[in-house]
Structure 1
Amino acid sequence: MQIIISHVNTDFDALASMIAAKKIYPDAQLVISDKLENRVQRFLNIYRDLFDFVPSAHVDWDQVTDMIIVDVASLARIGKLPTDFDPQKRNIVVYDHHPKDEKDVLYDEGIVEQTGAAVTLLLEEIQKRKLPISKFEASLFGLGLYTDTGNFTYNNTTARDLKAATYLLEQGMNLEMVQRFSEQTLKPEQQEMLNHLLANTVIHEVDGLEIAVSTYELEKFQNGLAMVTNKLLGVKGTDAAISVVKMKNTVCVVGRANSERITLLPILQKLGGGGHKHAGSATVKKGDKEAILHKLINDLELMLQPAITAKELMTHPVKTLTPDTTIEEAGRLMYRYGHSGYPIVEDGRLIGLITRRDLDKGNHHGLGHAPVKAYMTTKVITIGPDATLEEIQELVIEHNIGRLPVIVDGKIVGIVTRTNIIKVLHNDVLADKNSQEGLTANELIEKMEEQLPEEVYTLLKEIGEVASELNTPVYLIGGIVRDMLLNRPNHDIDIVAEGDGIELARGLQNAYGGDVLEHESFRTATWVHPSDLSIDITSSRLEYYERPAALPQVETSVLGDDLQRRDFTINAMAIRLNEESFGELIDPFGGQHDLQERKITILHNISFIEDPTRIFRAVRFEGRFGFSMDEQTEKLALESIDKVKQLTPHRINEEMKRLFSEGKPQDVIHRLFDLQVWQQLGIDEKQLEPSIAAAETLQKIHYELAQNDSNLPMDDWPDWFDYFLLPFYCNSSLHAAERFALKKKELKLLEEIMDVSGNKQCEESMTPGDYHLFLSGHSDEAILFILAADQISHRQSVIDYLHHRRNLTKYITGSDLVKAGLQPSPFFSEILLRVEVSQLNGDISSKEEAEKWLEEYLCTL
């Protein structure tokens, strides 16, 4: 067993180095000390579920074969080891940035060099191996880097640390997250300024938030006010801190905030300053400190945004368990829905919570048959729907809990989890909801009126009115929403009801007439309007996958789950149709922003693993809209590309058909090579250029045939399957394409191509009759494919042969041969072929000439 471990009193550099080492040693188990630095403890109280840690006390040291030790080189500092522990019997790997000591363990591999942070050493290795990292990982690595270098001010900071920081910024490191969890060290003069500011602080409460406003006056200018204000914010524990300090004749105003409800810019901009949402400043030369302070206090409300409450954050309705549910069944449900805990409800009231850790305890003791009530937590901390994000965060950190049930009148109406909190902390769509750049409901309504046929727009209004009467939230959803925002035509109407789709369809029938076709399995229906316009009404649902590449299992659920199950952010938007909120855009994943940025962004990290066909769809949308996958999405596609092998040939064919039918074939081939798709289908080498050249030639031939008004009936050629076969052919892997020839037509084409490709005479310039000797039994499609794929120089002579071949007149038939006294036999075919060859070479041009030729030919036998 491999383990990754660091020192006790784990700090951010140790934690970051462990996670970085996990990228290099993916099969190793993370082992963490029970003694954590306070900042790390607060961090893990929110993000613990994202890591798979084993407490050091639970390690079976007899099973440990490899130890990857990071941010330390002494075994004495990693915690208590067994008395008989022998490091010489293990493979020891060390990554450490401290000066070497004679007490350090002797290691077999690793790097021990003095840098500002140990994580720098591991980041260099990650870059060398070209391993992908996520934005969150980049931010965590940044925490280790920044805290151990004192924001690059400590003397041990090296140029390598700064290069590592550049790399992390390029990978999407969130500096706000780094700042939130790191601390800064003050110089003596800055500490003195902090002391004075603390003594002259007034805390103002505005709409439930606390804002500390401090003042001080200095005779000379002193730097570091931003750092001091940040420290002031931490000491006071308020939601924001503003320092107003006069230095000589200048008044300096610095603000820092840590609440998503606060943006400092409005008040700082009024003072001529600026900055960022949570960090900014203003400088007023020859300003009156007291007047500025008075103005600032009066304007504090300008900084506030409406509170994000549990009602907006929570997941609802809540999936619950009864107290008699077995541990085994609870575990199965957790896996299916991706939950890490369940509320336990009896007679409509919450009586406890069960977590995955609780289930692990029960299973460890072989009690999978036991009811969850035996292992559930009964002391449950709950919140109301009006609890603010700040209050919720504090409860999660203070009690180290992963979920908070939302209770109204004793009943559970929703649940807020760490995932909900993380989502809002790292997603500006909700966290900055008043500053979104996007369409208002009125603007969206105008788009709907402009782009939809009048009868369709009217119908959507009618659906919304009936849904409101039934108290059923209803939405326009899917590609039509995306295309409406892109000003592209799309009349494919998809309606999702957050509730019973059949009930809504019946309500529409009662109100406006028409017919309803019910689909009981998933409570969906098709309503046919009296005008014959057909509308599918689907109940919102969720999907789960039993295994990678399998077809999804489906259950009815809420809109959030319905949007979450979709592929990309740009396809996970909805427009509410209910009368009271008609035209409201629901965009929980930032799809509108990605449309503006022309990006294809996957919804969650295992999306491609669950359904690899989404990789094909991403390529299709890139071509259709001129978009590009964002960096993380492409990395995830490459990491998951081997799952394409698990798809059935039928599913691959369906996706390939859409790709080649919609996009430029040469671009599709190129992109699929970039993503290593062809390699998964059995292609041995990456012969990219010949495949693209063949695709371009195939198009050119088709264009020339069409322009020349050829008699060749090639209107439906080339087919998607022709383009699909090109990379196989150009890479000498045509045999690997056999399993994708699912129709007789496709199999026949493949067999013909194999046959023709083995005859090199096609590459020579010959008479039409000569070509006919070995090409007569092959279709136009197979011959034209070879012309393109092999880039044959005498292409036109072969095309001329095909043209003449189609105009052949049958002067001699089998009946003529019988009349001539021949007995029917396979020999007939050879004679008829010889007649056709002579016709194509111009030796026969009439029935009489053909009969004379036959007479002469028979005399030679």
Structure 2
Amino acid sequence: MQIIISHVNTDFDALASMIAAKKLYPDAQLVLSDKQESRVQRFLNIYRDMFDFIPNARVHWEEVTEMIIVDVASLARIGTLPKDFDASKIKIIVYDHHQPTEKDVQYDEGTVERTGAAVTLLLEEIQQRDLKLSSFEASLFGLGLYTDTGNFTYANTTVRDLQMASYLLETGMSLEMVQRYSEQTLTTEQQELLNELLAHTEIHEVDGLEIAVSTHEMDSFINGLALVTTKVLGVKGTDAAIAVVKMKNTVCVVGRANSERFTLLPLLKKLGGGGHKHAGSATVKKGDKEAILQEITENLDSLLRPAVNASELMTSPVKTITPDTTIEEAGRRMYRYGHSGYPIVENGKLVGLITRRDLDKANHHGLGHAPVKAYMTTNIITIEPTTSLEEIQELVIEHNIGRLPVIADGEIVGIVTRSNIIEVLYSDVAKEKKSQTNVSAKQLAKKMSQQLPEDICKLLVTIGEAASEMKTPVYLIGGIVRDILLGKPNNDIDIVAEGNGIQLAKRMQELQGGEVLEHENFGTATWTTPSGLSIDMTSSRLEYYEQPAALPQVETSKLGDDLLRRDFTINAMAIRLNEEAFGELIDPFGGQHDLQQQKIKILHNISFIEDPTRIFRAVRFEERFGFSMDGHTEKLALESIDKMIYLTPHRIIEEMKRLFTEGRPQKVVRRLFELHVWQQFGIHEKQLKPTVDAADRLHMLHSESAQDEPNWFEYFLLPFYYNQSLYAAEKFSLTKSRRQLLEEVQELDVEEKWKEAKTPGDFHRLVSDYSDSAILFMLAVDAISSHTTALDYLEQRRHIQHFLTGADLVKLGLKPGPAFSNILRHLAIEQLDGKVTSKAQAEQWLEAYVCKQS
């Protein structure tokens, strides 16, 4: 049996060296120490399933014939070995880059040479053997290299380390992953500087983006201002951070940004510095810190990109109709898809436009059966994808038209409406160019291999190959596409086929086994792989709503329609899986751009009317990602919120549960007031502040009483309480536990006497039958003076010792009955007030109590 092992407190170089050794010795078993460096623990929390580790304690040492030791050469540092372990009886292979010592094990094979990282030694051998690396492996090996060489700044760094970094970059190493997991800790001096910068930070908002400008002055030089500035960016949560620090007679300026809308270079070049668009610095010797600070704050707008053109404004793809489509059918389609006008296309060419106003006039005269060509506008003004926003505005004003088709190579590729223009003008985007960077198929395929488990990546490739054989376009779709672009974990796989999704699922079953559950009416199937992974496979379809808040009607259609039925642009993207186009991003509504802009946008104007639960989902995504609804989307949410009354209590409560469970309750409460959600329950705006304050207290009281987080339903009840309408929450109490909490809160609210309790015993006498949650809720909403005593009571009650039982009472000749509970309750009161502290005292108290009662 071969094993691969490294030192305890495993760092990235040790982990990377183990995985590299596995490439060289594929039959060996990886043995992981039970202690890892914190950064490695964070990494393994995400990627542990990609490795086949066993813990040191589970090694059958009597079966070990060969030991490959990496990043260490001393047996004393690899963890606990059996007392009878004899290294001379097995083959030892060592790969280590440390200075040899007398305590090192005698090894049979391997390499012990001074390099910056042990993984360099193994990578050199992997390169010589021409072994293939995945992008994920290259990134992990890069983590070993970068962390053990201090990003190639440590004195032990060698040319060989840099050569291996170049090799890894060529094989797909993700520098983003390396940066994410190799984050360094601060020295004491750097931490002190960070504290000063955080205390002297001013947040500037420019075109909807936040820039943190921090300043400090010190008498000495310290290294690491770039790292400290990065920490400021993370702590403040802004889109960019600029630190201006005077060290002796030199002013050091460092900038960091995490938004594609930024480029720091123009500002830094003004100061004589440089760098990259998201990271750069400048050094001004004998500079005036205040003058430099003023110059920076006055030129923050130079960090943003200008200009917007039609390709960035337009809605695409465009739904069209033919000249022979009837007025009645055109009206149905406008309702179904939420359009207010339709381009009319014949033989691929745009021949006319028809608006809802045109349709209304024709219907008024009973001409619903007539073709649209009789009423369409043929004098059409069009624009090109490169037409600027200013030119578009002039055309709209000059000709008083509400929509401009966008034509490229003789075909309609998009349409710009007044809504598109207003959205840009009033969301302060007109001053900058939308920085949508179209990720290439190759780049996206690489991101997928880096983020998704290897078995899932292989499965997606296989699905694409099978679909290509069936001549069926197939796509990965939904939230997983969004999260791949965001670099967030998500293994919830949804597959859409522009064809028969059920047939594709059956084909995968033929190829790989597993089970298929068909849903013929919806054109969907669930394929459960042999490993137990469930994958939904659907035929692309569109859906429309017969009335607000109703369940949708579904019909098969093209991918574009399938994307159009999604809730928001960031969820309306797809990744092509067919082998001839694997990794191609389908993004007809600009979801990638909205991800970069951190915006939540609906796809069409009646989206919230059709399904008001999307308003809740919008708030949830705001909380989850730190995004915000764009102005147009929020406006439509406010206009549509009254449709919430059509939702069942079950649907409302399910959305509320997700909101309060996933988000920060105080922010959720506030946001729902802003969107007039609570107002639909008859709750008034004036209850915002007390509700938010109580939400803060509720969280604090649960923490102080060593309770779990408050149940989400407690937060939900707060606005109803302050509006004196707890009764209105009864229809949402759909479970026994929720009904109990509501009933207890209502009873405690009416009963004022318990608030006057002075001792834990007093509290027990009055509220012993009430749950901790109900009591904490009332403490949060009624800040009574004795809340500390109440918390002490709850803590003591949870740990109270039961000195006597019913059997003890029977021994005294008492007959079992309701009186038993009363006696034990009085005893608990004595215990809580500290008058009875032992079983003997309890027995004495019981005798006295019985005598007194008799």
Instruction: Give the TM-score band, short-chain normalised.
Output: 0.5 to 0.7
Partner of residue 762 from structure 2, selected from 766, 770, 780: 770
Contact 1:354 1:377 in 2 (8 A): no
Q: Report the equivalent of 2:85.
A: none
Q: What corresponds to 1:573 in structure 2? A: 573
Q: Give the CA deviation at 1:777.
A: 1.5
Query: Does the CA contact (< 8 Å) of 2:338 and 2:604 recur in 1?
Result: no
2:468 pairs with 1:473:
no
Which amino acid is the alignment partner of residue 778 of structure 2?
I
Compute the displacement of 1:553 (Å): 2.2
Task: Rate the CA distance shift 1:567–1:330 in 2: closer, same or farther, 3 A.
Answer: closer
Displacement of 1:482 in angstroms is 1.2
Whole-angstrom CA distance in 2 between matches of 1:499 and 1:816: 76
Contact kept? 1:694, 1:791, Cα under 8 Å: no
Q: Give the residue type in structure 2 aligned to 1:653.
A: I
User: 2:772 maps to which residue?
Assistant: 780
Residues 792 and 379 of structure 1: is their aligned pair in 2 closer, same or farther, counting only changes over 3 Å? closer
* Alignment deviations for residues 139-183 of structure 1 (CA, whole Å, 9 cap, x no partner): xxxxxxxxxxxxxxxxxxxxxxxxxxxxxx999xxxxxxxxxxxx
> AA paired with 1:672?
L
Q: Is the CA contact 2:509–2:516 (under 8 Å) kept in the aligned structure 1?
A: yes
Matches of 1:827 and 1:531, distance apart in 2: 59
Aligned to 1:114: none
Alpha-carbon distance, 1:851 to partner: 3.4
Kept in 2, the 8 Å contact 1:686–1:731? The answer is no
Whether the 8 Å CA contact 2:358–2:376 is kept in 1: the answer is no
Change (3 A) 1:639 1:443: same
Range with bigger deviation, 490-499 or 628-637 = 628-637
The alpha carbon displacement at 1:783 in A equals 0.8
**SS of 2:650's equivalent?**
helix
Letter in 1 for 2:847: K
Give the aligned partner of residue 724 of structure 1: 716
* Alpha carbons of structure 1 residues 576 and 695: separation in structure 2 relative to 1, 3 Å: same
* 1:35-61 CA-partner distances (Å, limit 9, x unpaired): xxxxxxxxxxxxxxxxxxxxxxxxxxx
CA displacement, residues 106-146 of structure 1 (integer Å, 9 cap, x when unaligned): xxxxxxxxxxxxxxxxxxxxxxxxxxxxxxxxxxxxxxxxx
Whether 1:733 aligns to 2:728 is: no
CA shift in 2, pair 1:854/1:497, >3 Å? same
Q: Is the 8 A contact 1:542 1:556 kept in 2?
A: yes
Measured against aligned partners, the alpha-carbon deviations of 1:787-825 in whole angstroms (never above 9, x if no partner) come to 22223332231122223333252736499479857695x
* Matches of 2:321 and 2:788, distance apart in 1: 68
Cα separation, 1, equivalents of 2:379 and 2:684:
58
- The RMSD of aligned alpha carbons is 5.1
Deviates more, 1:770-779 or 1:435-444: 435-444
Residue of structure 2 equivalent to 1:811: 804
Letter in 1 for 2:759: T
Q: What's the offset of the Cα at 1:548?
A: 2.3
Residue 732 of structure 1: CA displacement? 3.1
SS of residue matched to 1:475: strand
Alignment of 1:589-628 (within 5 A): 589-628=589-628
Residue identity in the other structure for 2:601: T
In structure 2, relative to structure 1, the CA distance for the partners of 1:625 and 1:319 (3 Å cut) is: same
Map of 1:486 onto structure 2? 486
Report matched runs for 1:305-454 at 5 Å.
332=332, 335-338=335-338, 363-364=363-364, 377=374, 437-454=437-454
Q: What SS does the corresponding residue of 2:555 show, helix, strand or coil? A: strand
The one-letter code of the counterpart of 1:853 is A
Paired with 1:855 and 1:379, the residues of 2 have a C-alpha distance of: 97
- Residue by residue over 1:532-564, the C-alpha shift from the partner in whole angstroms, topping out at 9 and shown as x without a partner, is 332211212222122223332222221111111
Q: Which residue of 1 aligns with 2:527?
A: 527
Q: Deviations over 1:570-622 (max 9, x none)?
A: 11111111111111111111111122222222222222222222222222112
Answer with 332-341 or 610-619: which moved more: 332-341
**Distance change (3 Å), C-alpha of 1:509 and 1:321:** farther
- Partner of 1:105 in structure 2? none
Change over 3 Å in CA distance of 1:553–1:724 after alignment to 2: same
Amino acid in the other structure paired with 1:573 = M
1:608-662: CA deviation from partner (whole Å, max 9, x where unpaired): 2222222222221122112222222222222323233332221221111111111
Tell me the CA shift for residue 319 of structure 1: 7.7
Shift of 1:751: 0.9
| 425 and 718 in structure 1: CA distance in 2 versus 1, 3 angstrom threshold | closer
Offset at residue 401 of structure 1 (A): 14
Q: 2:830: which partner in 1?
A: 838
Letter in 2 for 1:637: A
Q: For the Cα contact (< 8 Å) 2:545–2:610, is it kept in 1?
A: yes
CA shift in 2, pair 1:506/1:749, >3 Å: same
CA distance in 2, matches of 1:344, 1:589: 21
Which residue number in structure 1 is paired with residue 848 of structure 2? 853
Please tell me whether the aligned partners of residues 343 and 353 of structure 1 are also in contact (alpha carbons under 8 angstroms): yes
1:471-510 CA-to-partner distances (Å, cap 9, x unmatched) read 2111111111111111111111111112211122223233
Please point out which of 735, 738, 742 is paired with 1:746: 738
- Which stretches in structure 2 are left out of the alignment for 5+ residues? 1-205, 209-309, 347-351
Aligned-partner Cα distance in 2 for 1:329–1:601: 28
Deviation at 1:853, TM superposition (A): 3.2
Structure 1 stretches lacking a partner, 5+ long: 1-168, 172-306, 346-351, 407-413, 707-713
Paired letter, 2:851: E
Take 1:651 and 1:670, find their aligned partners in 2: how far apart are those partners?
21
| Partner secondary structure for residue 517 of structure 2 | strand
Write the distance in 2 (CA, Å) between the matches of 1:434 and 1:472: 34
Say if 1:673 and 1:686, in contact at 8 Å, map to a contact too: no
CA distance in 2: counterparts of 1:388 and 1:799, whole angstroms: 65
2:504 equivalent in structure 1 = 504
Separation in structure 2 between the aligned mates of residue 698 and residue 579 of structure 1, nearest angstrom: 54
Task: Give the letter for the 2:729 counterpart.
Answer: A
Tell me the alpha carbon deviations over residues 408-429 of structure 1, each in whole angstroms, 9 at most, x when there is no partner: xxxxxx9989679998999999
What per-residue deviation string (whole Å, max 9, x for no partner) do you get for residues 435-460 of structure 1?
A: 95231111111111111111111111
| Aligned 8 A contact 2:705 2:794 in 1 | no
Q: Distance in 2 between matches of 1:535 and 1:465?
A: 16
Q: Deviations over 1:374-401 (max 9, x none)?
A: x875999999xxx9999xx9xx999x99
- CA distance in 1: counterparts of 2:423 and 2:788, whole angstroms: 61
| 1:513 CA drift (Å) | 3.4
Aligned to 1:539: 539
Aligned equivalents of 2:753, 2:671: Cα separation in 1: 34
SS of equivalent to 1:496: strand
1:695 aligns with 2:699: no
Q: Does 1:686 align with 2:678?
A: no
Give the direction of change, closer, same or farther, for the CA distance of 1:320–1:749 in structure 2 (3 Å limit). Answer: farther
**Is the contact made by 1:683 and 1:736 (CA closer than 8 Å) also made in structure 2?**
no
Question: Are the equivalent residues in 1 in contact too, given 2:669–2:692 (CA < 8 A)?
Answer: yes
Contact 2:570-2:591 within 8 A present in 1 as well? yes
Q: Say whether the 8 Å CA contact 1:341–1:353 is kept in structure 2.
A: yes
- TM-score, scaled relative to structure 1: 0.53
Matches of 2:207 and 2:424, distance apart in 1: 19
Q: Give % identity.
A: 57
SS in 1 for 2:686: coil
Question: What is the aligned length?
Answer: 532
